[in-house]
Amino acid sequence: MTMKPQETSVKLAVNLGGLAMKNPVTVASGTFGAGKEYHDFVDVATLGAVTTKGVSLHGWEGNATPRIAETASGMLNSIGLQNPGVAHLKADELPWLQSIGATTIVNVSGHSFDEYVQVIEALEEAPVDAYEVNISCPNVDAGGMTMGCHVPSVEKVVGMCRAATKRPLIVKLTPNVTDVAEIARAAEAAGADAISLINTLLGMAVDARTRKPKLARVVGGFSGPAVKPVALRMVWQCAGAVSVPILGMGGITTGEDAIEFMLAGATAVAVGTANFMNPTATVDVINGIIAYCEEQGVADVNELIGGLQC
């Protein structure tokens, strides 16, 4: 039975930097494919948006295995942005998303500044509603340093992407920085229409019996409920630092988790790791938001954005 959100009189629509969403819930890139894999469980067209797995110009093979490890209240991954490339996305997934009436955010990845632009240029004629620029990629031009950790490289990549499209441009921030608000301000100044955060924290896991790391690459991206307090803090900091809307994510499992992010300043939220535990997590979160609003007498979810009293 494919799940859909329940009927309600609560107004759920939000506007994320020019992207009209029927409700505030999308998915975190890389946890949902392009939606096909989950369509047996939830009607993906009823989500606020579907955010695709990161796409690059040409296919990437990804990292060696093992590349997923479970941790207390979370998981580690070092998938390495494996994807079949932008041509496959255009030929296969995007037409399918369009055919079911989904709102589509394409997560854009690249190893160089030019590659981001080339991916966007390749998608400009495709049925895409917004781009999410993943600046957590290592920049091969700059010795492998993560683009999103360095203000000048953030300004450069966002500025180049901005020049390539008039579509809403969401910039996804890495939490692995000293001052996330500084990075958010740089992205806004370079033309971002919205900011999304957080991407995964850097973590590792050790097998004491084999005395070896649990991931082939030793370190990986840490996500799941355990990161939620860090994610909430960073969303709240960025909401106070920029005027563009924020897409908040990091450990959201329930509707109440989503409400917490909205109160901290997020306009919309993304459900990520929860999809692995519960394939109906997205619709469960939408229904949880509805239940909260009905119980609290909230007529429009937009009333909640930035409503934290502190």
Residues designated as active site: 137
Of 187, 30, 168, residue with least CA distance to 103: 168
Total count of residues recorded for the chain: 310
Determine the Cα–Cα distance for residues 145 and 154; give it in Å rounded to an integer: 12
Tally of CB atoms within 10 A around 152: 10
Nearest CA among 255, 286, 283 for reference residue 38: 283
- The residue whose two tokens read 């683009």 is 147
Beta-carbon contacts of residue 218 (< 8 Å; ≥ 6 apart): 204
Task: Look up residue 174 and give its amino acid.
Answer: T
Whether 170 contacts 200, CB under 8 Å: no
Residues near 198 by Cβ (< 8 Å), separated by ≥ 6?
173, 174, 175, 180, 227, 230, 231, 234, 235, 249, 250
Say how far apart CA 228 and CA 288 lie, in whole Å. 17
Cβ–Cβ under 8 Å, residues 134 and 108: yes
Residues 6+ apart with CB under 8 A from 189: 155
